[in-house]
Chains A and B, each alone.
Chain A
């Protein structure tokens, strides 16, 4: 079991923040559309099973579009500050990285 989790944790699945926002909007939109279409089609042919199946198809499409980390969700990466030469030890480097992250949030 640990072998499997080690293997899967090596596959990168991250998206940047803008990508996450777009992914969430995408599946919300797809599920809403398929939900309404399923309701309409189920009412027309008077079978609720059709409604559930159409929603399941919407779930499959959303999963395909938003679960894997497609490149389009990685377009607007965070802009890190350039690495500054360490003043004294490694501690100063991590200190400057934290400062860089805080600055980026303020820019947004």
Chain B
């Protein structure tokens, strides 16, 4: 502590240690939160067609298309330990070929400070709903679920399902050409 640099070193080291302690306290203050929320999902129009999947060697696979209604309020999930929410909608279903399929249809990043009130009506999905094979036509049970990653400033990275799933029954007939 006799020179300027050694005092600066001690001071800076202590500042960083205090900062680490404060960050840990921030984590402790939110560790008990459950991140529960309710979402209402709906699919006003559901279509299925066959198409060559250009991304994987032009095999013909089932391609689903469903417009989405989304209604959820996620504002209460934000606190001083949440940096952003990564919200996404997945479709789960079972086919003869695969026991469990999960496809992401739509996602959104909501940063702290932005409005987390999701109100979408008849919105197109962001990503293609390809199936591995022909399991979508007439599939009676395709479940849509809203999930979100709560990304903290310090702590565990959690993946939570919102309450409220929507079951879709896929149509029996393919459509041809452009719908």
Binding site for B on A (CB under 8 A): 13-15, 20, 23-24, 27-28, 31-32, 35, 38-39, 42-43, 46-48, 51-52, 55, 58-59, 62-63, 66-69
Contacts of A38 in B (CB 8 A): 22
Please give me the 10 A-B residue pairs with the lowest Cβ-Cβ distance, nearest first.
A20-B1, A46-B80, A13-B4, A35-B18, A59-B15, A48-B80, A27-B11, A48-B153, A13-B3, A31-B18
Contacts A31-B14, A38-B22, A59-B15 given: A23-B80 contact, CB under 8 Å?
A: no
Contact status A23-B7, CB under 8 Å: yes
Q: Describe A's contact surface by its main secondary structure.
A: helix
Contacts of B22 in A (CB 8 A): 35, 38-39, 42, 51-52, 55
When C-beta atoms are compared, the residue in chain A nearest to B80 turns out to be A46
Q: Among B11, B14, B26, which residue has its beta carbon within 8 angstroms of that of A42?
A: B26
When C-beta atoms are compared, the residue in chain B nearest to A66 turns out to be B7
The answer to whether the Cβ of B46 comes within 8 Å of any Cβ in the partner chain is no
- Besides A13-B4, A48-B80, 14 more A-B contacts (Cβ < 8 Å) are A15-B1, A24-B10, A27-B11, A35-B18, A35-B21, A43-B80, A46-B80, A48-B81, A52-B19, A55-B18, A55-B22, A59-B11, A62-B15, A69-B4
Interface positions of B from 10 to 66, Cβ below 8 Å from A = 10-12, 14-15, 18-19, 21-23, 25-26, 29
Q: Describe B's contact surface by its main secondary structure.
A: helix
When C-beta atoms are compared, the residue in chain A nearest to B153 turns out to be A48
What per-residue 1/0 map shows which CB atoms of B71-105 lie under 8 Å from chain A? 00000000111000000000000000000000000
When C-beta atoms are compared, the residue in chain A nearest to B17 turns out to be A31
When C-beta atoms are compared, the residue in chain B nearest to A54 turns out to be B22
Q: A62 CA to B10 CA in the complex, in Å? A: 11
Q: A14 CA to B43 CA in the complex, in Å? A: 75
Contacts of B25 in A (CB 8 A): 39
Please list 22 pairs of residues, one from A and one from B, whose beta carbons are closer than 8 Å in the complex, sorted by A's number.
A13-B2, A15-B2, A24-B1, A24-B10, A27-B10, A27-B11, A31-B18, A35-B21, A35-B22, A39-B25, A43-B80, A47-B80, A48-B80, A51-B22, A51-B26, A59-B15, A62-B11, A63-B8, A63-B11, A66-B11, A68-B4, A69-B4
Q: A62 CA to B15 CA in the complex, in Å? A: 10
Contact status A20-B2, CB under 8 Å: yes
When C-beta atoms are compared, the residue in chain B nearest to A46 turns out to be B80
Q: Among A48, A51, A55, which residue has its beta carbon within 8 angstroms of that of B15?
A: A55
